[in-house]
A and B are shown apart, each in its own frame.
Chain A
Amino acid sequence: MKEDPRLRIGFIPLADAAALIVAVDKGFAADEGLDVELKREVSWSNVRDKLNIGLFDAAHLLAPVAIASSLGLGHVRVPILAPFNLGLNGNAITVSPELYAALTASAEGNLRDPMVSAKALARVVDERRKQGRDPLTFGMTFPFSTHNYQLRFWMAAGGVDPDEDVRLVVLPPPYMVESLANRHVDAFCVGAPWNSVAVDLGVGHILHFVSEILARAAEKVLAVRERWAQDNPDLLLRLVRAHGKAAAFVENPDNHREVAAILAAPNRVGCDAEVIMRTLTGRLKVSPDGTVRASDRYLLVGRANAARPEPVQAAWLYAQMVRWRQAKLSDTLLAQAQAVFRPDIYDKALAAAGPMPAGEPADGIGAFAGPAFDPKDISGHLKGWVIPR
């Protein structure tokens, strides 16, 4: 069967769709003979469903959704492959000025240390309970999202049970800032540009970049149906190659202005180019008073081998699904989850990635708390937590 190079690819307007958007708008996809139509979507449910039923050939997708779909969690089972990581990290936890003040007052140490902030959160939660006040509410983007697991991992390390001590609610990213301003939530975890929007409006403080919680968390992947990959092996390689070139383009500091301008277009991410620049450079205004925090791993789009999908990342995400009772623990499911991430396709398309640069975590995850992650011993990993649920 002849492979049809006209592709429809869905995306959500977020900065971590950069490699996909640049692949199309800078012509890297066309260079590979692909005719891509980008389809902007309003919800992850839409992206998932349209990918699953074949209306999209590929999609910018939450890494855990690719796994959940492949395991048949919550919905019909549709095996998905992830041959390319669109981004590692890139989210941030933003809190209301009131919660920020309360955390500052309760912190024993520097609040920038996630263990200090998590323990401070535990004290604030305790205090509110004694006062008979409503539990704090945290917004995140989707039940199967890195945001959900990052929030839970962080607060649980400080002794806060995310299912009992606080409320975790799904909020579409465009509603996050307004909900924080209207006090419907006290904090949220979301990707760029929404944290910066909250800070600029003076309604939030960025408490943590998620890279402070996990050094290498698979955030969004380029997702295709397994069936589509089998039917279109050549297109798949070309698509991954286009993404490889695009990611390299995005990561070159000389191109940041151009990339920000491309992403800022109304039919793409549709926000201020200056705000996108903060994400690309990893220099974010974290407080309405103008304080800037810089990180060299805020969002990794291809550098430090970020684009190569590592099965250990899928295993870590699966472990979180088990920990928070979204999935059962079994060797079969673990193997299925890991098989979603396909470094072999990545290597075939782009030539094998070089050795991991110095300073990257040995276990491939780099969590701020707990022992190194071992995908061969998930039950041991889960038993180690104070809050096992």
Chain B
Amino acid sequence: MDPLLKIVIVDESPVRSAIIEEGLREAGFTQVTRIEEMTNLLARIYAIDPDVIIIDLENPSRDVLEQMFQVSRIVKRPIAMFVDQSDSASIQASVDAGVSAYIVGGLVKDRVKNILDLCISRFNAFARLQTELEQAKTALEDRKVIDRAKGILMKAKNLTEEEAYALLRKTAMNEKKKIAEIAQSVITASEMFK
């Protein structure tokens, strides 16, 4: 591993690119630059003159990088690791994680494989974080809906809070639905009766 390799991360998600940069720095790479602004992307990359470029697969600017294969004035030419068919396991891992890497110049692929592996695991970590965040958000939303439905039932049927919740839960089980869905139906119905 060469800590002096210049690595550029092209990612419009500042959180994710920060996570990747941190991972690379922890692994000992000192020359890591993040690009989050896609305007004049090529000029920015040329100014940095990186050895390795990391870009997410959901970024339309991957096509901009393709231009680097063209310009004959640029001596260094990147190779896309993603399309190198010699290692199908790492290609699959890249696609699943949603990341691709370009090696610039004559670097040996093995020397940057650990960089790609690291990025893949960081991309996956970010995806997990996002899923957890979504789940937490949904849980919070669900709780709000259930609380409102409980209030409606308590008032309409003169129930205690425990009884209202038990009713929601029983209905959900009978209907094979989530409690939050039943709660939402209660709210919708009560709006209609207003």
Please tell me if A201 contacts chain B, counting CB pairs below 8 Å.
Answer: no
**Closest residue of B by beta carbon distance from A179:** B39
- Least distance between A185 CB and chain B CB atoms (Å): 11
| Chain A residues, Cβ within 8 Å of B84 | 76
Please tell me if B174 contacts chain A, counting CB pairs below 8 Å.
Answer: no
* A170 pairs with B64, CB closer than 8 A: yes
Please tell me if A195 contacts chain B, counting CB pairs below 8 Å.
Answer: no
| Chain A residues, Cβ within 8 Å of B100 | 49
Known contacts A46-B57, A74-B69, A53 near B83 by CB under 8 Å: yes
* B70 pairs with A49, CB closer than 8 A: no
Partner of B62, one of A45, A171, A326: A45
Q: Which of B11-64 contact A (CB under 8 A)?
A: 38-40, 42, 57-64
Task: Report Cα–Cα, A175/B69, bound state, in Å.
Answer: 21
- Least distance between A103 CB and chain B CB atoms (Å): 25
The 0/1 profile, CB within 8 Å of B marked 1, for residues 27-50 of chain A is 000000000000000111110111
List 13 A-B pairs, Cβ < 8 Å.
A45-B63, A45-B65, A46-B57, A49-B83, A53-B95, A76-B85, A141-B63, A143-B67, A170-B67, A171-B64, A172-B61, A175-B60, A325-B72
The 0/1 profile, CB within 8 Å of A marked 1, for residues 69-112 of chain B is 11010000000101111001001000100001000000000000
Please tell me if A55 contacts chain B, counting CB pairs below 8 Å.
Answer: yes
Please tell me if A75 contacts chain B, counting CB pairs below 8 Å.
Answer: yes
The 0/1 profile, CB within 8 Å of B marked 1, for residues 165-183 of chain A is 0000111111100010010
Which range holds the interface residue count of chain A? 20 to 34
* B60 pairs with A43, CB closer than 8 A: yes
Task: Report Cα–Cα, A141/B84, bound state, in Å.
Answer: 23
Please tell me if A279 contacts chain B, counting CB pairs below 8 Å.
Answer: no
Q: Which of A233-287 contact B (CB under 8 A)?
A: none
Known contacts A53-B91, A175-B38, A74 near B70 by CB under 8 Å: yes
Task: Report Cα–Cα, A170/B60, bound state, in Å.
Answer: 11
Task: Report Cα–Cα, A143/B67, bound state, in Å.
Answer: 6
**Closest residue of B by beta carbon distance from A74:** B69
Known contacts A50-B95, A76-B83, A76-B85, A44 near B67 by CB under 8 Å: no
Q: Which residues of B contact A (CB under 8 A)?
A: 38-40, 42, 57-67, 69-70, 72, 80, 82-85, 88, 91, 95, 100
* B39 pairs with A170, CB closer than 8 A: no
| Chain A residues, Cβ within 8 Å of B64 | 169-172
- Least distance between A389 CB and chain B CB atoms (Å): 11
Task: Report Cα–Cα, A184/B38, bound state, in Å.
Answer: 12
**Closest residue of A by beta carbon distance from B58:** A42
| Chain A residues, Cβ within 8 Å of B66 | 44-45, 74, 142-143, 170
* B67 pairs with A42, CB closer than 8 A: no
| Chain A residues, Cβ within 8 Å of B69 | 74-75, 143
Task: Report Cα–Cα, A52/B38, bound state, in Å.
Answer: 27
- Least distance between A173 CB and chain B CB atoms (Å): 8
Partner of A169, one of B67, B80, B83, B91: B67
Partner of A43, one of B38, B63, B72, B85: B63
Task: Report Cα–Cα, A141/B85, bound state, in Å.
Answer: 25
- Least distance between A149 CB and chain B CB atoms (Å): 13
**Closest residue of A by beta carbon distance from B39:** A184
Task: Report Cα–Cα, A34/B69, bound state, in Å.
Answer: 37
- Least distance between B39 CB and chain A CB atoms (Å): 6
- Least distance between A77 CB and chain B CB atoms (Å): 10
- Least distance between B49 CB and chain A CB atoms (Å): 19
Interface centre among B40, B57, B72 (most CB of A within 10 A): B57
